[in-house]
A and B are shown apart, each in its own frame.
Chain A
Amino acid sequence: MIKPVCLVVLLLLPHTAYGQADRLQAYQADIQNLFSKQPAATIEHLTNINYQPSRFLNYAVSPQGSAATLFDQTVANWERARVDKQIGKSLVSRGSAPSLLGLAVEAGAVTESVDGNAATLRANADGLLRFFAGQPIFQLGRTATPILKNLNVSGSVDLTRPGTKQVQVSNNSTVAIPTSSRRLSGFSVRYDIHNGRDVRSKAYQQRWRDWFAVKRPALESAGLHLLGTIGTALDLIVNDARYGAWRADFAAALANVTPVDAADVVGRFLDRIVELARQISPDFDAKVHAVELAYSGYLANYDDAIQELNGKPLVTFEYTNSRPANQPNLHNARLIYGVNPFGGSGLATLNMGSTLYRRLQDFEAGLELDRPLGGLVTHSAVGTLSAYYQYQLQAAVVKTDCGMLPVAKGNMIVLEAKVTLTMKSSGVKIPVGVTWSNRTDLIKGKDVRGHIGVSYDFDSLLAPK
């Protein structure tokens, strides 16, 4: 009989009002750069409305909302668009791991005694090393460290208070199962043997070169339309003598600004330019709307480049050392293959592996299908269907996503359906799902327990805005 094992409930984040800080969001990185690197170049970017002009146009109309919505719907970020990254727990391991850290804190479990929290930290070896060296994360692993960039490590810590629970494993014997331990409960090392999605690889760069050559006529046509509409919206401003004069004034002000009032100075400059725009161009908002449409048309050309990248396979080897309290350490080896055979936006991942403790404990296989729900690069959720099969060669107490459980020899099948919601403009991902298992000995029949899952991809935080 198939019974529900886990039910994940949704945590809704409160909607906040759209304020000045939101309007300046696209400028925040440059505002911070005023105090860290190349201030002269940063000042030029901040006072130049032609530098990534969507951010000025967005600022100009954002209180009305339309442009903010549209620009958010364009290519948010390659990092946020990917469905192949493994953050937090899943029935099936996916090929990629975050470049820096993925922190997953998950609460809840199968039985009433196992309700602990687990924190999992993942890191890319090269990314972590360079992070501590103070180098930019997103330039990592592209040149001198070809092995480290493919190496990812993770560790899980049980955060709850120590405790045990007696579990009956046969008619006349029980074992004490620790419910938590506040200790390192496991670590894993994974190595990307082949990553066809590595944008730094020579093979990918050649594919991009070929794609760009073929796509150039379409990009040029859409690009000229885009540049023309931007010119129609902005050239009256740029040709106005006041624009140049204010640029000079604010460039001088920004050269001596303090971190406390930098955003305010940038905001005052932009407000003045917006006022000028409306003064000399009464139909400025209509012109901005035309630019919005042109951006959409232009960026749509990149969809197939991302689609092509999505179609490349991933092959990863993963070793996991599980360290359950008062139990022997288990060694698990797993081969992960990820591919999209149809070249679409989803991902199919196949896992095969085995667990070792003195002798072979089990054989396992898993299949997971991930599909963005919505546009290829604009989706706000990913749907996942997973199937996991394990043949237990020896009766044992095993660690599962739902806690420490006794399992008898034989077949085990787990099915899971899940939707992972992605919060826009952040790396927060919230999974909502249901899991079933054929093994009723794993649970107490009527036990249904929900838990809240929140995963954070720190790459999204550090990715260029």
Chain B
Amino acid sequence: MFSETFMKLWENHILQMGVWETIYMTLLSTVVAYIIGLPLGLVLCVTDKDGICPNRFINKTLSVIVNAFRSIPFIILMVAMLPVANFIVGTSLGNSAMVVMLIIAAAPYVARMTESSIKEVDAGVIEAAKAMGTPSFKIVTKVLIPEAKPSLIVGAVISTVTILGYSAMASTIGGGGLGQIAIVWGHQRSNSDIIWICVALTIIIVQIIQEIGMYIARKVDKRQR
């Protein structure tokens, strides 16, 4: 019964489509969320009162904005941001609209992840860089980011997995992917087999992302022998 359902979905290319949509939404949103979130996290770190260019005003303002977005549950944020998606991509339905939503939800998350990674960089190393006459901008590019790289990669893995989870939720209001298959084909038609197939596939995707990410993080970290 279980394998029959699986074969049926597979032969009709439904599963392949679902997996592809999930991966596509997740990766695209992660990349764009990083393009926005990484600089945001760096600014948060640099302007902190113990940072290299303390600036209370910028730090507080950004911090409040980031916290506001972080504290809204994703499902509510999604509904609230539908008009924004409509404004940016011209529709509030479908995968492109969902990607916009995911980015809005993920960018503040990424900012906080980045901030915590950068804050792990040894203050002594930053002091040494200052003592060697490094301008502030170069401290960011030549010291903070390279020194935090392994931690940033671990953060990226965690963020990607979180965004993958968000992407499944997005299918409740019109997104595609495995989430949609589970809800529309599984939940709404009371077919638990389909739900479990989606669960299994999601676990596999997460495992693959996790393993690849952690492998890279270990590979680039020169702190262990």
Judge: A and B partners, yes or no. no
Question: Which positions in B face A, CB cutoff 8 Å?
Answer: none
Question: Which positions in A face B, CB cutoff 8 Å?
Answer: none
